Structures are given as structure tokens and as C-alpha cells.
Chain A
Amino acid sequence: MSTVQVEVQGLSKNFFDQSRGEVNAVQQVDFECRRGEILGLLGANGAGKTTTLRMISTVLQPTSGTARVLGHDVASEPVEVRRNLGFYSASTALYPRLTARETLTLFARVNKYPAERTKSRVEEMIERFGLGEYAGVRIEKLSSGMKQKVSIARTVVHDPPVLIFDEPTVGLDVLNALDLQKAIQELREDGKAILFSTHIMSEAERLCDRIAIIDKGRLRACADLEGLRAATSRHYLEDIFVHYVTSHETPDQD
């Protein structure tokens, strides 16, 4: 099963900034992500990972190029794209005054999940993520680990085929981060296509089926770990990453 769920072609984004002038945040990025696959976007801070993922989630508009989610174009069918997408990042917060159950119901409805199945789906999520005893407690009263679980449940409550995790482990302690990684792996087992961005090498190494190395807005390489090792004749991902980033330092003068 290697159905392409996310397809990105020549995607570029230019910003204009008062102090820096024109900034090419993302330039000519191509990749695709299949069903049951975790594609890791690996890059330093400011490399363009978040901008790329936000373009796929239709929050930002591409300057040029296209991105498709299940064949829906992000520019012309943004609502269809978002309906098939779950977006999770450290900056996507929850409403503090809702309970976990209310949160899940709200996002199932807003994401147009079929009305007759909403209630059972919400209960299913509560059980799956172990929210049982806390389902009726307001989010503001939950621990950060519980909040994170509600957040993932919120991301997948409408059962989207594509999931985007934008630096999800930022700010989490080791145990919570491992929990999250486990949850993401389980979602892969469910057949989701998962885009996962990180700047942590070990995380990418452990979790991702394929790794796309992004540097200064450009895609430097995109392959599985073996492929990257073969191409660079280096073993550790850290060395591979440094190789790609440094070898492009000079020609980047266009």
C-alpha cells in the first residue's frame, strides 16, 4: 500500500520583513508522503519546516508551487484539505475552560465529522488515550501530560487520513515525549500518512520511515536512513545532516 496522500511540488514561500526585506522562507520544495508512512522533516530552527507544514495545512498561502492532500489543492480547496488533516504543534492550544469531552465533541463537529457517529467517536478517543477519569475535568485543571493527550485526541478525533506533527515534542519532558512518539507510531499502524518535523536527530532516526533534510528553505535530501547513509557514506544521522547543510553553504548565492 503506497498510496500518495500528500504531494508537494515546487512549493515556495516568500516573506517580506521590515528589517530583512524579502525572505525566501521555503524554496522549490518537493516531496510526498504515503499511507502508513512517517515522513520526517529535519532541519534547524528557521529552516522552513513550520512554514512548509503551515502551507500544507492552508494557514499560509504558497507564493508558488502546489501542495495536495488526498488530491485536494491547498489553494483552491482549503476546506477539503483541512477536513482530511489533523494538525498538531506546540502552538496549537486548547480552550482552557472546556472539558476534554467537550473539546473532542467541539472539534469533531467543527471538522464536520458525521453527526450520528460523533458521540461514539468521542468516547472511543477518551478510551484510547486513557482520558477516562479526566474526561469531565476542565482542561485548565489537567497536568501537562494529560493536556498533551487531549491535544492528540483532538487532532485525530475526526479520523483524518493525514496528520501533521510540527515539532510536537518541544518543551516536553522525556517521558511525555516518549509517550507522544508511541502515540504517533500507533497512528502509523492505523494507516495514517504522517508528516513529522523536528530538529532532534534521535527522534527522527527512531520514528521516521523517510527523512527530508531542509536547510535555508531548500530540500537537500529526501530518503530513508539507509539511502541517506549510502549517498553520504556516513553512518550517524547527525553527520549526514551536517554533511548536507555544510556542503550547500557556498552555492547558496543565487
Chain B
Amino acid sequence: MNRRTVSALVGNDLRQLARNPRVLVFAVALPLVIWPLMWFLTSLTTERRQERLESRTYTYAVAEDPRDAEHAANARAWLERALAVVGEDGQADEADTPEAPAVRFERVDAPDDFKAALDEEQLHVHVAWEAGAGDGSNENVDVDSETLGNAGDPAQRIVLSYRADLDASDAAEGYLRRALERSRVEVREKRLAAAGFEAPPEDLLPLERIETASEEQTSGLLLGRILTAIIVMMMLAGGSIVATDALAGEKERGTLETLLTTAASRIEIVTAKNLSILTVAFATSVLNIANIVLWMQLDVIPAPAGLKLVIPVGAAMLLLFLYAPAAVLLSSSLLLVSGRSKTYKEAQLLFAPVMLVFLAVAAIPVLPGIALRSAIVVVPIANLGVAAREILTGQYDWPLIAAAWAVAAAAAAVLARASVRALSAEKLITASDLDAADLTGGPALFPRRVGRWFAALWALLLVWQLNAGGGIDGRLLIAINMAIFGAAAWLIIARYRLPVRETLSLRAPPPAAWLGVLIGVPAGLLLADGVVRLASLAMPIPEEWIEAMAEAFGADVPVWQTLFFFAILPGIFEEIAFRGVLLHGLRRRFGPVRLVLVAGIAFGFFHVDLFRIPGTSLLGVLLVIAVLRSGSIYPAMAWHALHNAVALGSARIEHIRLPEQPTWWHYVLATLAILAAFRLMAGPFQSRELR
């Protein structure tokens, strides 16, 4: 890559932008004015409203019930007491506020139709005294010298009528209700004292709360939840200013063909475009943040309560490093969208859904209870967001932070490569970029689409399993999973008119392959167990999962059902989906080593729980080799079913146990056994990849 070329291209992009006053005004300057202005106006109107509510006079009326004058009098007495409290302190639940609001209540005559009066705001609260089931004449001993009516009758109550949708009425009801509640407490305490309860009520169970989270941690949680979403939003808003123009705009103006016929390589162009997008995204983000902080410092707009915008230097550096792949991911995807759009307009149209997807993913840290140590670690952006939240609250889960970074970086690399490819695509220049497979569809097209299908299937399973949770019977869960795999396989085969026999390798294996399975299963189990042990150093198996498993395979499930649901069904349907359809789709795309690794590890990733991925990936690799060696899916089906059966058996039956502490020679023996098993499997249909 030539730095001079790249810097010339970046300089050109930035110059184009700097000389485009319309874009500068609408995309850069206007937001700088509008955001703080909106913030300022919001806080100003909120403040004004509060002031208005606290300084006005509210009207209330007490229902005059001619049949029950006594109760009306009771209500008035209570109210007067309560209003005395309001007079002292309108906000009853925040006692001792230094500046008591000047709320005043004014009594008006009870109107004939209090609802209409509330509607017309002649009245803010209407108070009625509703007699209960009791006859109301039951005079208890009145302990309060002020004779506050018969409060001892439990069935009687005060009814406050108000309009929640009218600001004044709603506020008046709030003040009045809190005052009534407070005076109720006071009266109750007095009566308790009079009834011989000697301890002062305030000494009864005094409650004190101590929050052990530091101010940084509380503030960090608040900030960590929203930080990623804010950064993603700002980067996208800033980046899209350049990105739309970067490829789609150049295509439309005809400068792209000029550029593509120069000596700049595709990688140099993509690098330059990404750098331009990142530069502008970064610059506008910094401008926006600095702008907001400036107005906050000037006290024009208030800082959100509880938010301390101070991040320790170490954490800030880590966050910067963490967000780096996210930034590349964002700019590459913007560039990709721009490259795939025919016109500027189309690019702008496509940016909206892309932004929504990124925002949805970036908002995942807001969801409660999502930890980095979960499947979320393999979702780019979301994983960095959750990691950032944990870092800001002082949790440093290094292996998972590294994993999240690696996943995001890998995704960024894939997208960057895709945007280089998009730039090489002939569609940029000519109307058509199709080839024979696109037109005829069918089997030739499937290898190109296999990734999309299984990515969608993975997302579907992730959403379904996260929602299914623990409340569902294990048998039902597995049956539904298998139905999803079966349906997906059928759908793909039908959609691309794939030859069933060849796709699923439905051929008779060499007879020795069955012996190979018998040797391979125990050896494979031992190796998988070793991998799980190794992985558990970084990712311990959660206790809850072991408990849930024990429950699922508990003694109340008959053995035949356990075998059917957890060994035979996966042995058939997972093999059809993964060693059948997936393997068939990937075969023409990779050489033998990568084919085995990709197809095997993809299978591991479908086991959503993180700690299960390493072990199941190994099983996937072994099963892929079994299919490729024997040319048939049947040994892999038998292997898979037996593997699951023995693994389950070792959990239930004492006699089937893996060595408690395997030593190195256990693993050497197992590896040799696996190699021998694969040797036995070689037959006439062995795939040419492994010959």
C-alpha cells in the first residue's frame, strides 16, 4: 500500500467535503446548534413547569351529602389537618426541603356536577367521604383530642377525584394525597402512643441504606449502558456524510470510473475511503461531545443527574482500543452500502435500516442482566458495548474482553474485505454483474448463499433459545430445535433444487467404517472432555447449567426417551443440517483443512452456550472428517448418536465414566484411536478433498 496515494485520496475526499457548504451547514453545523438547543429548551420548560406548579393556588371542593352531613364534616376535618401539612411542606414525602413550595389550597363550594367542574378546571380536586359497609354510627373510643371523626372504621374512605391529563389537577391531587397520607401516619402514631405503645414511633425499626457501589461505579453503569449507543449513533451520523458520497456519489458523478482506471489499487481506495469516513465521523463526534460539554460547563444545559463524565485514564484507553474495531466495522459497512447502491439516493435510503440495526445492537447493554460471559460475546458491537459497561463498573473479565475484541475485529476485517470486493465488482461500472449461477439459480448458486442461510438460522436459534429459557421441558426444546434444523434443510434443498442423495451423502459406507465409529466414539469423547477441561480454565461451566441438565435428564425421564430425544434425534437432524447441507454448500469454497475447520466450528457455534462451543466444535470437526472419509453420512449419524448417548450415560450410570483425571497418554491414545478410526472409514466414495 502506498501512503502517498492513500493520503492524496483522503485529502481529496476531505477537500470535497470542506468545499460543500450545503453539507457542512446541514450535516455538521446544524446539529451542533440543534442538539444543545433542544436540550436547553427541554430543561427550561421542565423547570418552568415545576415552578408554576409549586407556586399556584389549587382549588378543592368537598362533597356535601345531605344524607350524611356527619361524614362530610369528617372529611373536612381530615382535610384541614392535611392542608395544614401542605402549608408546611407541600411535598410530604420529601420532608425538610429547605425551600418549601408555596402551594396553597383554596376551598370552593361543591359544584353540582364535579366532573364537569374538573373538566373546565373550575376545580382541581374533588373530595368525597364514602361510607363503607359498616353503619357508620359505631363510635369507637376517640383517642385524638381534636376529634378527627371515626377513623377507626376500616370501611370508610376518602375519595379524591381529579383529571390525570390536566397538569394542575394532577399536581393538586398529588400534593393533597401525600398530605393526607402523612397526616394519617401522624394520627396513627398518636393513637398508638395513646393505646400504650411506649417507644417513640420513630425509634421503631429505623432504616438506613448504604450503597457500597462507589460513585464511579454507579455513574459508570449509567454511562456504560448508553455510551456505546451514543458513540455508534454519532459515528454513523458523521460517517454517513462522507460515506454516501464515497462510492455511490462518485459512481453517480462518473468520477469513480476515473479513479478505478488510475494506478491506485482497490485496497488503497478502500483504505482511503475508510479513513475519510473515520476522520469525519471522529471529528464530528468530538465536536458534538465538546459542544455539549461546553454548554454544560457554562450551565446553560444541566448534566443528567447521577452521571459523572469522568472516566479513569486506564479505562478510557481500554475503551478507545475496544471501540477501534467497532469504528472500522461501522465505516466499512457504510462503505459497503454505498458501494452496493447504484445512486446517491439509494445509498441514503439504505443507510436508514443499517443505522437501525447498528443502534439496536449497540443498545443491548441497556438490557438488564446481559453479561459479557454469554452468547453476546459473539455478537459484534453488542459485545463491545457490554464489555464497556462492565469496564465502567470496574469489572475486568480479560479473557472475554479479548474474545469480544477479536470477534469485532474479525467482523471488521470481513466487512473491509467485502468492501474491497465490492469495489472490484464490475457492477460498479457496467449494468450487470451477474454470472451463470445467478441466472440459472439452483445448485450452482447455493455455495454462495450457504453462509447467509446458516447465519440466519443461527440468529433464529439464538433468539428462540434465549427466550425459551429454563421454563420449557428439555424434550420439547430439543424436538423444536430438531424440527427447525430439519425444516431449514428441507427448505434449502427445495429452494436450490439440490440433489438429495449427493447433498446429504446418502450412500452406503465401507463396512469397516462402522468399526471406525465404535473406536472413534470413546476416543472422541475423551478428547472433547479434554477440550472442555481446557476451555473451562477461561470459561467455567456455570452451576445453573449443570443443575438444569441434571433436571432434564433426571430419573423421572425414562431411559428410552432420553436416548430418543437427546441421542437419536440430534444424530439424524443435526447431521442432515450440518454434515449434509452445510458441508455440501461449503465444499466448493474451501480447501480440505479450512473446510473441516469451518464446517466443524460452525457446528460448535450453534451450541449457543459459550462454554459448550469448544467441545462441540471438536465433535463437529471429527464428524465432518468422518463424512468426507467415508463418503457417507451414516457413520457420522451413528457416531453423533452414540456420542450423545454415552455422554448422557456417563452422567447417569456409574459404570460409564471417563477417567477422573486423564493424563497425557490418555489423550495420545485417544488421538491414535481417532486416526485409526478415520483410516478404517476410507472407502470408494471418499471425497476428493481428503484423498
- Please say whether chains A and B are actual partners in one complex: yes
Q: Which residues of A contact B (CB under 8 A)?
A: 15-18, 21-22, 51, 54, 57-61, 78-79, 82-83, 85, 87, 89, 91-98, 102, 106-107, 109-112, 115, 138, 154, 158
- With A18-B434, A158-B263: A91-B257 Cβ-Cβ less than 8 Å: yes
Contact with A along B1-30 (1 / 0, CB 8 A): 010110011011001100110000000000
CA distance A58 to B2 in the complex (A): 19
Can you list 13 A-B contacts with CB-CB less than 8 angstroms, sorted by A residue number? A16-B434, A22-B436, A54-B429, A59-B429, A60-B426, A79-B263, A82-B261, A85-B261, A91-B254, A93-B257, A98-B15, A112-B2, A115-B4
Interface of B is mostly: helix
Q: List 4 additional contacts besides A110-B262, A158-B263; criterion CB under 8 Å.
A: A16-B435, A93-B258, A95-B12, A111-B263
B19 touching A112 by the CB < 8 A rule? Answer: no
A60 touching B263 by the CB < 8 A rule? Answer: no
- With A95-B16, A96-B253: A59-B260 Cβ-Cβ less than 8 Å: yes
Q: How far is the CB of B536 from chain A (nearest CB, A)?
A: 49
Chain A residues with CB under 8 Å of B430's CB are 15, 51, 54, 60
Q: How far is the CB of A72 from chain B (nearest CB, A)?
A: 11
Tell which of A51, A59, A61, A106 touches B261, judged by Cβ atoms closer than 8 Å.
Answer: A59
Q: Which residues of B contact A (CB under 8 A)?
A: 2, 4-5, 8-9, 11-12, 15-16, 19-20, 253-255, 257-265, 426, 429-430, 432, 434-436, 438-439
B253 touching A16 by the CB < 8 A rule? Answer: no
Q: How far is the CB of A125 from chain B (nearest CB, A)?
A: 15
Q: How far is the CB of B254 from chain A (nearest CB, A)?
A: 3
Tell which of B2, B20, B261, B439 touches A16, judged by Cβ atoms closer than 8 Å.
Answer: B439
CA distance A57 to B254 in the complex (A): 16
Chain B residues with CB under 8 Å of A97's CB are 15-16, 19-20
Q: How far is the CB of B341 from chain A (nearest CB, A)?
A: 18
Q: How far is the CB of A29 from chain B (nearest CB, A)?
A: 17
Closest to B260 in A: A59
- With A54-B429, A60-B429, A97-B16: A16-B438 Cβ-Cβ less than 8 Å: yes
CA distance A53 to B228 in the complex (A): 48
- With A92-B257, A93-B253: A109-B434 Cβ-Cβ less than 8 Å: no
CA distance A131 to B264 in the complex (A): 26
B258 touching A109 by the CB < 8 A rule? Answer: no
Chain B residues with CB under 8 Å of A110's CB are 5, 8-9, 259, 262-264
CA distance A22 to B437 in the complex (A): 11
Tell which of A59, A83, A106, A107 touches B257, judged by Cβ atoms closer than 8 Å.
Answer: A59
Closest A-B pairs by Cβ, 8 of them: A93-B254, A87-B261, A83-B263, A109-B8, A92-B258, A16-B434, A97-B19, A111-B263
Chain B residues with CB under 8 Å of A96's CB are 253
CA distance A87 to B264 in the complex (A): 13
Closest to B253 in A: A93
B261 touching A92 by the CB < 8 A rule? Answer: yes
Q: Which of A61, A96, A138 has the most CB of B within 10 A?
A: A96
CA distance A62 to B425 in the complex (A): 13
Chain B residues with CB under 8 Å of A115's CB are 4
Closest to B429 in A: A59
Q: Which of B12, B15, B19, B262 has the most CB of A within 10 A?
A: B262
- With A16-B435, A95-B255: A107-B262 Cβ-Cβ less than 8 Å: yes
B257 touching A112 by the CB < 8 A rule? Answer: no
B257 touching A89 by the CB < 8 A rule? Answer: yes
Chain A residues with CB under 8 Å of B5's CB are 109-110, 112
Q: How far is the CB of A234 from chain B (nearest CB, A)?
A: 35
CA distance A212 to B309 in the complex (A): 71
- With A16-B432, A21-B439, A60-B429: A94-B255 Cβ-Cβ less than 8 Å: yes
CA distance A122 to B255 in the complex (A): 20
A112 touching B434 by the CB < 8 A rule? Answer: no
Chain A residues with CB under 8 Å of B262's CB are 82, 107, 110-111
CA distance A98 to B9 in the complex (A): 13
Q: How far is the CB of B476 from chain A (nearest CB, A)?
A: 45
Chain A residues with CB under 8 Å of B432's CB are 15-18
- With A16-B438, A82-B263, A98-B15: A106-B255 Cβ-Cβ less than 8 Å: no
Closest to B6 in A: A110
Closest to A17 in B: B432
Q: Which of B16, B261, B439 has the most CB of A within 10 A?
A: B261
Chain B residues with CB under 8 Å of A17's CB are 432, 434
Chain B residues with CB under 8 Å of A85's CB are 261
Chain B residues with CB under 8 Å of A82's CB are 261-264
Q: How far is the CB of A65 from chain B (nearest CB, A)?
A: 16
Closest to B252 in A: A93
Q: How far is the CB of B22 from chain A (nearest CB, A)?
A: 12
Chain A residues with CB under 8 Å of B260's CB are 59
Chain A residues with CB under 8 Å of B12's CB are 95, 98, 106
Chain B residues with CB under 8 Å of A106's CB are 8, 11-12
B255 touching A93 by the CB < 8 A rule? Answer: yes
Closest to B261 in A: A87
- With A93-B258, A95-B16, A158-B263: A61-B434 Cβ-Cβ less than 8 Å: no
CA distance A217 to B201 in the complex (A): 101
Closest to B269 in A: A110
Closest to B263 in A: A83
CA distance A96 to B255 in the complex (A): 9
B265 touching A79 by the CB < 8 A rule? Answer: yes
CA distance A21 to B16 in the complex (A): 40
CA distance A51 to B263 in the complex (A): 19
Chain B residues with CB under 8 Å of A83's CB are 263
CA distance A91 to B428 in the complex (A): 13
Closest to B257 in A: A92
Q: How far is the CB of A155 from chain B (nearest CB, A)?
A: 9
Q: Which of B257, B258, B429, B434 has the most CB of A within 10 A?
A: B258
B439 touching A61 by the CB < 8 A rule? Answer: no
Chain A residues with CB under 8 Å of B434's CB are 15-18
CA distance A58 to B264 in the complex (A): 12
Closest to B11 in A: A106
Chain B residues with CB under 8 Å of A51's CB are 430
Q: How far is the CB of A63 from chain B (nearest CB, A)?
A: 10
Chain A residues with CB under 8 Å of B258's CB are 87, 92-94, 154
Closest to B17 in A: A97
Closest to A86 in B: B261
Chain B residues with CB under 8 Å of A79's CB are 263, 265
Chain A residues with CB under 8 Å of B263's CB are 79, 82-83, 110-112, 158
Chain B residues with CB under 8 Å of A112's CB are 2, 4-5, 263
CA distance A107 to B255 in the complex (A): 12
- With A79-B263, A87-B261: A16-B436 Cβ-Cβ less than 8 Å: yes
Q: Which of B15, B253, B432 has the most CB of A within 10 A?
A: B432
